[in-house]
Amino acid sequence: MLERRAKLKEFIPTEQPFLFSEEFTGDAAAFFQTCANHQLEGIVSKLASSKYRSGRSKTWLKTKCFTESSLLIIGTGRDRKTKAPLALLARADQQGLSYAGSAFIALSGAERNELGARLQASKLERCPIPKLRIPDAQWVQPQLMARVRHLTGSKYLRRRGITTTNDRDRSSRHQTQAGSAK
């Protein structure tokens, strides 16, 4: 891999839109923690002595930084591909509400049923965020908070799932955790 990388570096232009990432050798755990502290999405690592192979392999590892946020539930919808239930979420600040994205409702059956009943009781005709349009969404009063685990480093939620819900409290706690994906 080191030889291939050196050859590639010769051919990659230095101007935009190309970017050749710098290599890092040393304490991977400390490097990952630094990335997490800077709210980067994560790191990609490969065993330097490994041979290049296209596709997935055990010598190539993607380690992602996750965080948790408290967000307001403003509606529900369905995932386009899987049809799984989603909560539509917003951040509250001095200017009002801003759309944060959607998250899978990953709660136990009893918790999911309780959430469904509470959301059913707080239905709205229109979205609580003016000009936000999401087809087939069911809008609700922004009064329930959801704890959402998601990837860091993006304006909108990615790789996300609701872990708990409670009444609106506007508190937000962030925890960074490592998770890996291939």
What pLDDT band is residue 168 in, cutting at 50, 70 and 90? low
Cα dihedral across residues 77, 41, 111, 126: positive or negative: negative
Residues in contact with 64: Cβ distance below 8 Å, sequence separation at least 6, in sequence order: 41, 42, 151, 159, 178, 179, 180, 181
Domain range list for the chain: 2-65, 66-181
Tokens found for residue 114: 């309780």
- Give Cβ neighbours of residue 17 (< 8 Å, ≥ 6 apart): none
Round to whole Å and give the CA distance between 170 and 105: 20
Task: Check residue 16 and give its pLDDT.
Answer: 67
In CATH, which of 3.30.1490, 1.10.3470, 3.30.360, 3.40.190 is domain 2-65? Answer: 3.30.1490
Write out pLDDT tens, residues 50-59: 777 777 788 8
d(CA 13, CA 102): 38
Q: How far apart are CA 178 and CA 33, in angstroms?
A: 9
**Domain 66-181: which topology?**
OB fold (Dihydrolipoamide Acetyltransferase, E2P) (2.40.50)
pTM across the whole model: 0.71
pLDDT digits (tens, 9 = 90+) for 102-138: 999 888 888 889 999 999 999 999 999 999 999 999 9
